[in-house]
Amino acid sequence: MASAVRVRFAPSPTGLLHIGNAQTALFNSLFARHHRGTVILRIEDTDLERSTEEFLGRILEDLQWLGIHWQEGPDKNGAEGPYRQSQRLPLYRDHAERLLNGARAYKCFCSPERLESLRQHQLSKGMMPRYDGKCRSLSEKDILSMESEGHRPVIRFRVGGGSILFDDLIHGKMKFASEGIGDFIMVRSDGMPAYNFACVIDDHSMHVSHVIRGEDHLSNTPRQIMVYQTLGWEPPAFAHHPLILGPDRSPLSKRHGATAVSQYREDGFLPEALLNYLVLLGWTSPSGEEVLPLEKIAEEFSLSVLSRSAPIHSLKKLEWLNSFYIRNKDDRELSELLLPYLEKEGLSVDRVDRSYLIQVAAAVKDNLGILSHVKGYLGIFFDEKFFFDEEARAILLDSTHRETLGSVLGALEGFPSIDQEGWPSLVAEMEKKTGRKGKKLYAPLRAGITGRTKGPELIKTFPLLGKERILKRLRMALEIT
């Protein structure tokens, strides 16, 4: 592999960053890191109506949160800038003029209505929709007449004959017949370059060596190769990875749940877990391990072993990975990550002792699939959120369980202190006083102390609550009617 590996990720700021696009960014980043190359962030913002600074800011924020970095881009100095297509329009105009003057492009005045009618006619005949070349042979006089009447043309690339061949680094040898493509638009009537023209100019001028993108762009590649060849440029290497599908094997969309990186972030997924998950959707480590740090993934990463089969999104797998990373977080760091979710539930965390929050984080970390799940356990540790849920109340209304809790209350009143070191002695005392063990003891005990039927281990919960709060809750439990 040549040392000058240069890749690009080129989002359009017309919406939030989709996890499919994040996977593309990740593959580019890993490939560049593996080969000590350069990542370029280019903003494709020629859709002026839909592109916004807000979406651009959100995209940059999500990429940075994920830990995907770039060496050249709109927020960094780089020799090949500017890195926003809206700031590169003179460059596109120059090359469009070059192709017009060389008769490899022409002006087309066909109306949207005519083009749609043509498309419907071709579909009704079982034909692949393509432009029929009506404006290919317009004379200079015809063109001047149309323009003087105020008609604004598009500029179309004049497609030649033969086949377009290229080697895809994932799919292998590819062949497209030019007859099925039709003369495509290079520049729209508003003067903005179309995708298949602009990205060729940009990739060449930015010295991109490898174009790594989703396979939805596979059909664009022959068009782009024709532009490269016409301009006398060497195309980059291409790699088109499969797109992520929903569980029903249809393209991943909002009906399958969250698709935006920002939504996973808001729900409480960790960036390292989401990155780990996205790379596993298409790549397998030679070691067979699934939980890998980004440095190790970059060391082992190769485009040649990316799967050709479309991966299926599994929220269950993502939550499993996320729970692993949560369990392995430092308790102090985890407590900081939980703060926004505690505040969202109305807790005044600025009044809570930070050392207590660290202990709460340590107690619940084994129970969290995502950070926002902490809201289900707040009632255990914070009195203002404490209540007995319906399942707990059902247990506490049972006369046998009430008898057990009455005996537990007596045992705890005479017990000196409650901490993890004394837990075995406390359990032995409760078993002795109640005559019960296992579920017959722990089910009513958990319901009475925490107000829930599920939660962190009681050995972690008891010391955090302390003797007085536990006694108070047991008395409350025995008063339920």
pLDDT per position as a tens digit, 135-154? 999 999 999 999 999 999 99
User: To which H or E segment does residue 100 belong?
Assistant: helix 89-101
User: What are the φ and ψ backbone dihedral angles of 213, each rounded to 5 degrees?
Assistant: -155, 175
Residue found by looking up tokens 């619940």 in the block: 364
pLDDT of residue 3: 57
Q: State the Cα–Cα distance between residues 472 and 211, nearest whole angstrom.
A: 65
Q: State the Cα–Cα distance between residues 476 and 59, nearest whole angstrom.
A: 50
Residue found by looking up tokens 């506490």 in the block: 396
| 254 among known catalytic residues | yes
**The overall pTM is greater than 0.85:** yes
How do residues 335-363 score in pLDDT, each as one tens digit? Answer: 999 999 999 999 988 888 999 999 999 99
How do residues 362-416 score in pLDDT, each as one tens digit? Answer: 999 999 999 999 999 999 999 999 999 999 999 999 999 999 999 989 888 888 7
Q: Which two tokens stand for residue 222?
A: 């022959």
CB 248 within 8 A of CB 306: no
Angle between helices 423-434 and 399-413 (to 10 degrees): 130
Helix (H, G, I), strand (E, B) or coil at 12: coil
Average pLDDT of 6-31?
97
How do residues 104-121 score in pLDDT, each as one tens digit? Answer: 999 999 999 999 999 999
Q: State the Cα–Cα distance between residues 402 and 404, nearest whole angstrom.
A: 5
Q: Give me the percent of the chain exceeding a pLDDT of 70.
A: 99
Residue in 254, 329, 344, 385 annotated catalytic: 254
CB 381 within 8 A of CB 465: yes
Q: Delineate the domains of the chain, giving CATH numbers in brackets.
A: 1-73+242-328 (3.40.50.620), 88-241 (3.40.50.620), 387-478 (1.10.10.350)
